[in-house]
Structures are given as C-alpha cells and as structure tokens.
Structure 1
Amino acid sequence: MKQPVSLLLLFLLPLFLKAQFIEVSKNNSYLETSDGEPFLWIGDTAWELFHRLNREDATMYLKNREEKGFSVIQAVVLAERDGLNKPNAYGEIPLIEKDPIQPNEKYFEHVDFIVNEAEKLGLVVGMLPTWGDKVTPAHGGGPVIFNEHNAFIFGEFLGNRYKNKPIVWILGGDRNVANEQEKLVWRAMANGLKKGDGENHLITYHPRGYSSSHEKLHHEDWLDFNTYQCGHSHHYMRVYDFAETLSNVEPRKPFLDAEPAYEDIPVEFWNYLDWSNSLPVPEDVLKDDHTIAKRAHFEQGFFDDHDVRVHAYWNFLAGACGYTYGNNAIWQMFEEGGDMAIPCLTDWRDALDRPGAESMRFVREIFEKRPFHLLVPNQSVILGNNPNDSLHVRAAVASDKSFMLVYAGVGQKLNIDLSEMQSGVIAWWYNPRNGKATKIGKIKNESSYQFVPPSSGKGNDWLLVLDNPKAKLKNLKLW
C-alpha cells in the first residue's frame, strides 16, 4: 500500500534537516550560524532549569523566552543547588553514586526533552556540564567529584548525546581556575566534549564575578570565545572595561557578558545573608510564602530593568557579541513557599514578564535592524567629559559607515562629532523601554552637534541612532 505523502515526509524530513550549529566568524569578532548568518546572543540564566522544572513548566518557560526575543538559554546539568543529591521534578538524580561515569538515563531523558523543546523554538542551549563546585572546593558547595579521567568520560558522554543539537558548551560555572590541576580537569572535560560531538559545538567558560575566562584560559585550544561575569556589586558596572581589554588580547576571540547584574537581585546580596542557616535571612524579612517582605533589610536596594538595559547597551557598543539577562527568581527557579539561595521579590513565574526581560526584545530588535556585527566601538565621536559613572556614554560606528549608535543611560545631553559620517545623517531617538523611535530629522556633516534626549534621569535611557541617508537600513517603529 502506498504511504500517504505526509507520512513519507515525516520519515524523510530528518534526513534533510541539519542542526543549526553556532560558529566563530572569520574575523573572530562575533558568532554566526552554520549558514553564515550573524548570531545575536541574547541569553537568559536559567541555571536550575533541568534540575527543578517539570516538563510543563519548562515548556512554558521556553515559549516565554522565545517570544521575548531570547536566543540562548543557559542551564546546568549537574546543578549548583544540591544537584547531585536533590532529585529533579520526576524523582531522578543525575548520577548513580555521584559517579560521573555512571549517568542516570532517566535524568537525562528529562534533559533531552528540554533541549528538544528549545530546538523546536529555535533556541540554543548554553549547556554547563556541571557547576564549578564539582571541580573546585573554592567558595563552598560541592562535593568535588571530578578528576581528569572521569571529566573526559563525562564530557564524551554529553558530547555524543547532544552532538546533533543546537548547543554551546559552557564550562566553569561561577568558579575561576585556582591551580594547574583544575585547569587539567577542565581541559579533559573539554576534550571529552569535542571527541563526543565531533567538534560540532563551540566551548567557552563561565568565571566568577568580576572575572573573565581569558585571564587563565585564553590560550587553551578548546576555548572558542571568552565570557566574563561583571557581577552584582554595584550600579553602572564598568562592563566596557572587560570589552576594551578583550578587544586587544591576541589571538582575537569573540566575547560576551554571560552574567551581569540580575534584575531584582539585592546589590551586594552576600553582605546581608547567612547561608549557615536554613533561611539565609531572619524570618521577619520574609513573607509566609518566602518572598521578601522587608526590602529595607537589603540596605543598598535592588537592581532593576534600568540596570539591565545600561549594561546591555554598554556591552554591545563596547564590542561584545552578546549579552545574557538574568533574574534572581528565575536563575534558581524559586517557588513561593520553597527554599532559596538568595531571597526573591517574586515567584519565578511572576518574574518571567518583569520589565528588564521585556526590554530584551527591543535589544534584539535594534541590533538586528542596525546589525551588531558591523559595530566598531568609537569613543572619539563623543565630545567633552565622559565620566565612568551614570553619565558615561558609549558609541559605535558601523564598519561601512552606514550608521552610528550612541547610548545615553540617563538621558544626558550628547555632544557628538558627526564628521565621520560623510553624507550627514538622519537622526532618531530609539526608546530602549518600548522599542519605538522618534525622528529628529536630517543633519549635515558637523564636527560638533548637540542632541537633547526627550527625557532625562534614572530610567530614562535613550539610544541615538544616526543613519547614513544613502544606506538601505530597516525602518524603525515610530511613535
């Protein structure tokens, strides 16, 4: 009997489909897809995704992130929060007897499901084989279970299992390399991944706060691109310092901020917590559902959506090829009434639609309409004093002079040298909070021109878009 066409297609389709792998561009400045299209890394830190969410919640989470324009989901196989002992949503632990050579098939079937759901939505999984506390005793956690031998075997297992999936491997997990022996363990894991997946996927390393992977690992053959963690210590972190440093490190490798300050996390949270107790804060700081009741306990306040946007635009305009958003409730998948590593303002589900997460869709939109991979940082166009605080200004010009972008984090006046834009410019104010633009008009080629944003003050950030009139650029959404 002749098979229906639909069934034949269902059978034959996998033979013609090729997984979309991420590669390094030829100029070593950004990432691209296997068909040569620039890949804009807009990540989310969902460290406990595999460990804590059931399939229904995981699917809902992934759909939400895809709808908001995220392109990468960063999640950990051997999770930080008692990931070796506390079972997943289906009662499964990842390893038998905590042995990396004995993976539990049932646990990994759940990981498979989430990876497959992400693939259906066009999302790449930034997969951490393990949190760093399983390799180093530094900063607590653990237990340490890896050595060179089992790290290679575990890496090979993961590499082979996900060799045909849209994955980027992320070693490290909030830990720096403390000594040569730890470096050998990470190297063995990386080599295992490469053997298992046939070197189909990129590998990077996620370091501790205010650190960069290049500091100890830049010349490792397996490190394809660098990431840094600017951390959670204060507002207006000088993320551009990392970018400027990495732009001058040889050999050139792409770089991105894989963990900036999370939305809704307390500033310098570690100063207000006692992790030796079951609750890290006094009971009266929390409501009955374990969300924060007394925000004043955290004397320096919280990071918000404004911090998220400032760090995103400062990173991109300083040369980064990507940026990872984070929310305090989402990284740990905090459930109301449950336990927490760091107290949260909301349940993780309520955090999905926080303003900082919403603004990621507009980050993606502008850097696709004004392609990020063409940007070359250019601070010389900024005239006058440019302090390293809230008034700091970042600027970048497209390599083909088709456009210039200048970011005013608090709506400050901008004095800009337009002489580099040889045909004059069509100027716009782009609102990073809603993705809409206001046309300023056509301006001649001037050596000095002052732009005044529509509003100013904290939370009133603006992106000045200066287009070459001769360039064929995508239209911006108007008010």
Structure 2
Amino acid sequence: MAPIMDVHRPYCGSVHVPVEWSFTAATSYADPFNEVELDVVFSHRDGEQFAVPAYWAGGHTWRVRFAGPKPGVYTWRSVCSEESDGGLHGREGDLRIGPYEGDNPLFQHGPLRVAATGRTLEHQDGTPFFWLGDTWWMGLTGRLDWPGGFHRLAADRVAKGFSVIQLFAGLFPDAKAFDEQGALEAGHQAWEQDWARINPHYFDLADRRMEWLVRAGLAPCLFGCQGWYVHLLGGERMKRHWRYLVARYGAYPLVWCLCGELTGPFDDAEVATDEKRDAYRARTRAAWREVAAYVRAVDPYGRLLTAHPQHAARDDLPDDLLDFDMLQTGHHDRASLPRTVEAVVRSSGRQPVKPTLNGEVTYEGMQEANRQEVQRLMFWVCLLSGACGHTYGANGLWQMNTPGRPFVHAGGDPTHGKTPWEEAYQLPGSRQVGLAKVLLQRYRWWMFEPHPEWVQPRWSQEEYLRAVYAAGISGEVRVVFLPHLVSRVVIHDLEPDVTYRGYYANPVDGTEHPIAQVTPDSAGTWAAPQPPMRQDWVLVLETTSARLPA
C-alpha cells in the first residue's frame, strides 16, 4: 500500500494512497527519538502546503509517509531540528500524484469528514459513509495471530458489512503497562520499559496489520492509549507518542481516537470519594485538552478526531477539539436501554450540531448476557434516535481470547469470560447488525431524522422497551423498530398525498413480509397489522421512488 521510494529518483503515486521513503542521518545521535524532529513540507502547485512529521525508524533512519489529497505535482523539502545534519535537513524533490484507479472505497472516495449537515460522516468526495464498527481493542497484539487469524477476521468483517475497526496503538486498556498480553511478535512492546523512547520494531509489526485493514477497505479508528496513560507518561511524552502515531499512520484513511475511557482511572482509589473523583476528572480532562490541541496542530491532514468516554466525549472535551461525539452507554443487557436512548437523544440534540456515535454498548455475550437480540435492539434504537452509525462488540473478541489464554485484567480483577475470539467472531449479532446496515442503505439513510411522534406507543422516560422507535424522510420513507414486547403499532401523520407500500423486515435473517395495504384514515393514522411472529421487527413504509439505484 505504501510504495517505497528511492530518494534519488523521481517520485510518483496515486491520490489518497500513501507513499513512503527514508532519510539517513549524517550525524550520530545518542538518543535520536528524543533529540531529533524531522518534518517534510509538501507544497502543491496551487499553493496548499502540508507539514508532515516523519517518524524515527530506528538507528540512523527516519521515514516519511504522505498521501496526496489531490492530483498534481508537489515539491517537498525536509526540515530538521538539527539543521547541520545534511542527511535530514534541506533535502528537496518533486512528487507526482495521479488519479487513483482501483476500487478500494477508502482511496476511491477519499478519507472521512463530517458532512455539511453536521450529523453524518462522508468521504472526501461527498459519498456518504456508514460507520459500522467492530471492536478489536487487542488487535495490535500477538493475541490475534498474524497473518492467518488477522486475515480471516478482516475478511469476515468485510463480508458482513463492517466499515470501521476500533483498536489500540500499543498502550492497552484493562492491563498494566508492559503486560506481556500487549506484546507483538518476539515480545515487542510499543515503548521501552523505562518510557525512554518509542520502540519502532513494535510498529513495524503493527504496520502490517494496519495496512491489511486499509487494503480490505476497513477504516481504522486508532486509539492512542487508555485515558490514565496521560498521567503515567506525562503530557510531553504523551505528545511525543501522538506525534509518532501521526507520523506513522496519518497518511492512512483513518480516524483518531485520543484515548479510551478518558476519565477512567487505573486505580479506583484515585476516585474513592466524590471529591477525589471530581479532582481526578478535572486534571485528566485538562491534560487531554492539551494533548488534543497538539494532535490537531501536528496532523497535516485534519483526520477526524474524537475520544472514547465513560459517558459522552462532549462532556470531557470542548467542541473545537472533537469532530464527532462518541458515547459509551453500558453493558447491562436491556437495562442499558434507558441510558442508551437518553444519551443518543441528548447528544444529537446538542449545539453546535455534531455527528453522534455509540462507540461501546452491550458487547455480545458479556456477562453471559447481551445476546444477539440485544445487539439488534441497540443498533436500531441508536440509528433511529439520531446516531450516524454504530459500533458492535463481542466478548472474547475485543480482548482476543485464545483457548487456554483468556485475557487477565490488571490487579487480578475477574475476567469477562473465556470465549475464544474464533468463537466470538461468529456470534450471530455481528451478522445481524450487518443485515440492518444493508436495509438502511437501500434509502437515503444520511438524511433520516428521528420522528418519535410518528408512532404509538412511542418511547418515554417511563417506558423504553414496550415502545417503538421511528425515523425517516417525510413523504419518502419511514423505518420503525418494534422491540420484542411490542406486537402492535399505530402510525401517525401520514401525508394525504403520498402513497406508501409496506413490509416487515425480519432483523434476524433479513427476510421480508409484504403488507397488503397501507390505508390511513382521514387524520393520517394507520394501524399496522401484527408482525408474522412474536419477536422484534422492522416495519418499513416506502414510496415507489424511495429506494436508491442498486
């Protein structure tokens, strides 16, 4: 994916596809990672510039990766903090970028951005992007074998319609620093044991996995670390960690997530009282605000940036440092439904408008609960309440369990379970959220708006489960989700001059059951017939022109 260029010959590449070449220092440094910073400034003929950080690759070598966002000729010049080093400073050349001619959507349509409405995501060329994420927290460790297991899992997720993979970059959740569970081949960890410097060999191994995801058309959502690491490393070292990630992966069509559980402590004693908790959260938010501003400044591409929270990212960081609001709403089966609904509705209603995404909820199989019907429930409730996409997770998969080697939590906390990832990735919920995405993509889903007033019984703060959820486009399409406890639904406000046809979609297998007639009364009210059997269902009312071309 990233062609290796010879620094002494003309360079060429394709739009959005990373190209890469190396620089060799003419001077020896005792501590190159900490002593030297190297940038390469790319200038398009139209005047636009990109100051791209290069990364230390070990020894005397630095490398730069660049993805030209538009065709044309770029001149480049290296700028080093050690101006006397002729191997690193003042090198110049040209780079010719032509059109991309392949079929990878991440290169064909470009990296992600926020749509003009402020509510959804799209590619750089304006093509809508449906975020269906999967959770591979430990995906950049040896717990997921390379290449066989990694390739197999990626292929399965592509086949099921996933578009994003959420994973950590070397500093992992729920484990102590330098826990062997976070190592890649040959025991490589992301940093040296004393935090003196980054370990480029770990990232050489991680590169293969990151590149494979992108080649497969899966956009990585790369987490820098777990939130408490900002105190362990300190602010300046955390900035260096993030500069390295931007240098190494910023050319990829990915999304940045500052950290996981931003205000979550490593040791619960730090938040044992309300006073301690408030103090910890205040200083942690302040530290991450500074790091987030740094990431904004050092990333030449302006890749989307968010944070994974304990509740809502917009509660932790100011709006100018977040491109979209990521939520976490619990793992307590259907008991997480009220919190989920309220969080999505609150987030999507905030000003200024930003996309809303539930980044963690009810992992399938967690606590021997949260089964596939709960995965369907959370997907549909979130999407029909204002979310721009959804992230799925499976217990056993997020921690990449293997037979006889379940993930062991820091401090000896009870494990979440022993299910191996090779069983967890086949849990039925992963296929069923993919089927849900397919159904929505028949329509202009990115223009959907929540319409709880369209249906009865509608959800309320008194009742979330014996209620239905609705969204759509007035006069075009209405999508209604019926949880398993609802067998009858009444549709309101049907337009008198619009003719709808209807069907029930089975969210378990994707089969459809047509409805003979949609005949509202003079007030625009229509009582839908009962679904074919007692379970959850999706009711769709559509006009003849509602579906997008195949």
Once the two structures are TM-superposed, the CA of residue 114 in structure 1 deviates from its matched residue by 1.1
1:216 counterpart = 2:316: yes
Provide the residue aligned with 1:407 in structure 2: 481
Question: 1:358 is matched with which residue: 428, 431, 442?
Answer: 431
Once the two structures are TM-superposed, the CA of residue 330 in structure 1 deviates from its matched residue by 0.2
| Rounded Cα–Cα distance in structure 2 between residues aligned with 1:183 and 1:243 | 22
- Normalised by the size of structure 1, how large is the TM-score? 0.82
1:323 counterpart = 2:390: yes
Once the two structures are TM-superposed, the CA of residue 421 in structure 1 deviates from its matched residue by 6.8
| Rounded Cα–Cα distance in structure 2 between residues aligned with 1:169 and 1:369 | 29
Once the two structures are TM-superposed, the CA of residue 385 in structure 1 deviates from its matched residue by 6.2
Cα 1:472–1:325 shift into 2, 3 Å: closer
1:394 counterpart = 2:394: no
Contact 1:408 1:463 in 2 (8 A): yes
Cα 1:366–1:90 shift into 2, 3 Å: farther
Contact 1:453 1:462 in 2 (8 A): no
User: Which letter maps to 1:392?
Assistant: A
Provide the residue aligned with 2:164 in structure 1: 72
Secondary structure of the residue aligned to 2:544 is coil
User: Which letter maps to 2:334?
Assistant: H
Percent identity reads: 24
Provide the residue aligned with 2:202 in structure 1: 107
| Rounded Cα–Cα distance in structure 1 between residues aligned with 2:418 and 2:491 | 40
Secondary structure of the residue aligned to 2:307 is strand
Contact 1:130 1:173 in 2 (8 A): yes
Secondary structure of the residue aligned to 1:207 is coil
Cα 1:149–1:416 shift into 2, 3 Å: same
RMSD: 2.2
Cα 1:357–1:421 shift into 2, 3 Å: farther
Provide the residue aligned with 1:55 in structure 2: 146
Provide the residue aligned with 2:178 in structure 1: 84
1:349 counterpart = 2:422: yes
1:312 counterpart = 2:342: no
Task: Structure 1 unaligned segments of length 5 or more: list them.
Answer: 1-9, 136-143, 267-300
User: Which letter maps to 1:89?
Assistant: E
| Rounded Cα–Cα distance in structure 2 between residues aligned with 1:384 and 1:89 | 55
Show the 5 A alignment for 1:263-278.
Answer: 263-266=364-367
Secondary structure of the residue aligned to 2:306 is strand
| Rounded Cα–Cα distance in structure 2 between residues aligned with 1:126 and 1:308 | 21
| Rounded Cα–Cα distance in structure 2 between residues aligned with 1:346 and 1:166 | 32
Provide the residue aligned with 1:449 in structure 2: 526
| Rounded Cα–Cα distance in structure 2 between residues aligned with 1:318 and 1:440 | 25
Q: Which has the larger radius of gyration?
A: 2
Provide the residue aligned with 1:26 in structure 2: 116
Provide the residue aligned with 2:360 in structure 1: 259
Show the 5 A alignment for 1:75-474.
Answer: 75-77=167-169, 78-80=171-173, 81-82=175-176, 84-86=178-180, 87-99=183-195, 102-135=197-230, 144-176=231-263, 178-208=280-310, 211-217=311-317, 219-235=318-334, 237-238=337-338, 239-266=340-367, 301-340=368-407, 341=409, 342-344=415-417, 346-384=419-457, 386=459, 388-398=463-473, 401-410=475-484, 411-420=486-495, 422-446=497-521, 447-457=524-534, 460-473=535-548
| Rounded Cα–Cα distance in structure 2 between residues aligned with 1:55 and 1:308 | 29
Contact 1:397 1:405 in 2 (8 A): yes
Once the two structures are TM-superposed, the CA of residue 98 in structure 1 deviates from its matched residue by 4.5
| Rounded Cα–Cα distance in structure 1 between residues aligned with 2:516 and 2:163 | 33
- Aligned pairs, how many? 417
Once the two structures are TM-superposed, the CA of residue 472 in structure 1 deviates from its matched residue by 4.7
Secondary structure of the residue aligned to 1:179 is helix
Provide the residue aligned with 1:279 in structure 2: none
Once the two structures are TM-superposed, the CA of residue 468 in structure 1 deviates from its matched residue by 1.8
